[in-house]
Amino acid sequence: MARTAAMDETEAAADRQFVAALARGLDILDCFDASGCSLSVSEIAMLLGLPQPTVWRLCHTMLSLGYLTATEGGRVQPALAVLRLGYATLSELPVPELARPYLQELADRFNGAAGMAVRDGLDMRFVQRCESDSQLVLNLRIGSRVPIVTSAMGWAYLAGLPAAARIAVAQPPEVWQLAEPVFRRALEGFVAEGFIINPGVLHPGYNTAAVPVMGADGLPRFTLNCGGAASVLSLVQLRTDVGPKLRTLAGLIAAVA
Amino acid sequence: MTARHTPRRGAADEPDRQFVTALARGLDILGCFSASRPEIGGTQLAAMTGLPQPTVWRLCYTMVRLGYLVPVSGDKLRPGIPVLKLGRAALASIPLAEAARAPMQAIANRFGSASGMGARDGGRMVFVQRCLSEAQLVMNLRVGARLPLLTSAVGWGLLAGFDQGARDALIAEYAPADPRWPEVRTAFHKAMASYAKDGFILNLGVFHSGYNTVAVPVRGLDRRPLFGLSCAGSASTHSAAFLRGEVAPVLLATARTLEQSPEAQRGHTS
């Protein structure tokens, strides 16, 4: 999906700082995937909903700079020079480091804390943690653990698991018994919206939204969260603002992790 | 990096009216980032590209909106996760890079080495595959990392595959921009002479003292050299005799296998 097209068109048009030619050129590169296929100018024009002459000029520019290469039948394909475009900067970063600027931005924007965790036994262990300047955040850091049964991180993990696999990690039973009804309601939200909200179950007065980052095997590899004190970060904000951003970030990470 | 993208001129010194300068400049900005320079501020990007600050600001703003750049602490920018997708699509257009992974990992494991495969992008070698053994002294190079064509072991491996005329033309083109070339040119010519005899290039501490490499070219269907394939390690474990007697025959056999693989028939785009 073209990134530019995903933006509000009128918003983009009205934004005089936005350089449309650059955006469209990047959209063209974004048309190619890891299958190694080539595309013709008319195919690209169709994919992006752009006029053919526009696509031709952008392709011509990238051909002459070596970012695209011509293949048989007048088709084009991304070339080696594309690896100049920041690829080596990120290609071998560990996933928690890849996610760091995004989590920091979430934490700052919502005056809370955001993080990334992996499952470790019956706990979720933080592998990344970013805090805003707000003083009302839970005292967690990289390496800290929270229980799967009561935390948003844990619930996101459970939500990503097949239902039959949940019981094995939703332990101990006496805690799960108390938490499960709230989890069930939160799970409905997850099914509808793709993120889960933990309303103060881990810590009273502290709300958190979380999402699983799914692996190629269909199981959750990581979980992401963003939360804050209820006085600063309301459930409404979590639902309308924070949750969708986490969902987008999870998709971004899942595609490359 | 300089501002190469003042409006382009065609063969007859006519401006190329089809050339989209804004796109070229934006891509130039993304090209400023590297593993050793992962975060750069706007002022510095302007200095690196030679573009006016307001232009840089608008181009960066556009790429931030699209996710190709992300703000990090201290008003700096870093490439965003979507650049990984672009790079993977580019690597996918080189089928041999993926085909080479298994044999290269086997070489790395067997000899306790770092094995790399590089393709030429102008005057640079770009690693399109890189396999390391565990717990060895290896150079920290990754897929996408770039080394100078004329002053890297993997570049010498590629250059060895050209005939004298084509090789001299590449040297003439890229030597002026490579400050290390004068100090290694004698070693280079010796290496090329021994390639004619051995079929591989040995690099004994030429670029990094205490670090030895053997490298060979990998050719395309038309017999033109397309890649340099290298295997390297610390001089203490990778002596000249070891590289010559043990590693080089395996590296050469791997190059032959790759040249005859189905992936090689699907071509390479460089």
State both tokens at B145.
């990392």
Is the Cβ pair B26, A67 closer than 8 Å? no
Instruction: State residue B6's pLDDT score.
Output: 54
For residues B14 and A110, give the distance between their C-alpha atoms in angstroms, rounded to a whole number. Answer: 53
Instruction: State residue B3's pLDDT score.
Output: 46
Instruction: State residue B2's pLDDT score.
Output: 44
Interface of B with A in 127-146 (CB under 8 A): 128, 142-146
State both tokens at B215.
């490298």
Helix (H) or strand (E) holding B116: strand B114-121
Out of A89, A120, A146, pick the residue that ends a domain: A89
A77/B contact by beta carbon, under 8 A? yes
For residues A28 and A216, give the distance between their C-alpha atoms in angstroms, rounded to a whole number. Answer: 26
Same structural domain, A135 and A227: yes
Same structural domain, A112 and A134: yes
Is the Cβ pair A87, B144 closer than 8 Å? yes
For residues A257 and B16, give the distance between their C-alpha atoms in angstroms, rounded to a whole number. Answer: 41
Instruction: State residue A93's pLDDT score.
Output: 86
Give start-end residues of each CATH 3.30.450.40 domain in chain B. Answer: 87-265
Instruction: Judge contact between B21 and B55, C-beta under 8 A.
Output: no
Give start-end residues of each CATH 1.10.10.10 domain in chain B. Answer: 21-80
pLDDT in tens, B153-195: 999 999 999 999 999 999 999 999 999 999 999 999 999 999 9
**pLDDT of A217 over the 60 cut:** yes
Q: Which one is predicted more confidently, A213 or A140?
A: A213
Find the Cα–Cα–Cα–Cα dihedral B82, B88, B91, B96, rounded to 10°.
180
- The CATH number of the domain holding residue A7 is 1.10.10.10
Instruction: State residue A201's pLDDT score.
Output: 81
Same structural domain, A211 and A142: yes
Give me the residue from B23, B73, B87 closest to A87, CB to CB.
B87
The mean pLDDT value of chain A amounts to: 91
Q: Which CATH class is domain B87-265?
A: alpha beta
**pLDDT of A3 over the 70 cut:** no
Q: Which CATH class is domain B21-80?
A: mainly alpha
HSE on the CB side for A194, CA within 13 Å? 14
Is the Cβ pair B18, A86 closer than 8 Å? no
Same structural domain, A60 and A121: no
Instruction: State residue A191's pLDDT score.
Output: 96
Chain A contact probe: residue of B29, B61, B88 with most A CBs at under 10 A: B88
Same structural domain, A81 and A139: no
A254/B contact by beta carbon, under 8 A? no
Mean pLDDT of A77-101: 92
pLDDT in tens, A94-139: 999 999 999 999 999 999 999 999 999 999 999 999 998 876 677 7
Instruction: State residue B136's pLDDT score.
Output: 57
Same structural domain, A17 and A133: no
Q: Which domain holds residue A217?
A: 95-254
- Whether ipTM exceeds 0.85: yes
Same structural domain, A46 and A127: no
- Spatial CA neighbour of A130 closest among A94, A156, A89, A99: A99
Q: Which one is predicted more confidently, A137 or A37?
A: A37
* Other residues' Cβ atoms within 10 Å of the Cβ of residue A145: 16
The 3-state DSSP composition of chain A as helix, strand, coil percent (nearest 5) reads 50, 20, 30
For residues A186 and A180, give the distance between their C-alpha atoms in angstroms, rounded to a whole number. Answer: 10
Query: Which of helix, strand or coil describes residue B201?
Result: strand
φ/ψ of B189, rounded to 5, equals -65, -35
Residues of B in contact with A67 (CB under 8 A): 27
Q: Per-residue DSSP letters for A107-131?
A: HHHTTSEEEEEEEETTEEEEEEEEE
Give me the residue from A34, A88, A101 closest to B144, CB to CB.
A88
Out of A71, A89, A107, pick the residue that ends a domain: A89
Interface of A with B in 124-143 (CB under 8 A): none
Give the full edge-to-edge strand order of the sheet including B40-41: B40-41, B76-79, B69-72
**pLDDT of A146 over the 70 cut:** yes
Is the Cβ pair B79, A85 closer than 8 Å? yes
Start-to-end CA span in chain B (Å): 21
Which residues in chain B land under pLDDT 70?
A: 1-14, 135-141, 265-270
Same structural domain, A29 and A74: yes
For residues B127 and B145, give the distance between their C-alpha atoms in angstroms, rounded to a whole number. Answer: 6
Same structural domain, A83 and A99: no
Residues of A in contact with B38 (CB under 8 A): 89-90
Same structural domain, A190 and A132: yes
Give the full edge-to-edge strand order of the sheet including B124-132: B146-148, B124-132, B114-121, B225-234, B211-219, B201-204
B232/A contact by beta carbon, under 8 A? no
**pLDDT of A12 over the 80 cut:** no
For residues A51 and B75, give the distance between their C-alpha atoms in angstroms, rounded to a whole number. Answer: 37
Same structural domain, A78 and A164: no
Is the Cβ pair A22, B63 closer than 8 Å? yes
Same structural domain, A80 and A119: no
Minimal-distance CA residue of chain A relative to B125: A80
Instruction: State residue B270's pLDDT score.
Output: 43
Total number of domains constituting chain A = 2
Question: In this prediction, what percent of chain A has a pLDDT beyond 90?
Answer: 76
Mean pLDDT of A52-71: 96
Q: Which one is predicted more confidently, A33 or A116?
A: A116
Mean pLDDT of A171-192: 94
Out of A72, A89, A106, pick the residue that ends a domain: A89
Q: How far is CA A188 from the centre of its chain?
A: 20
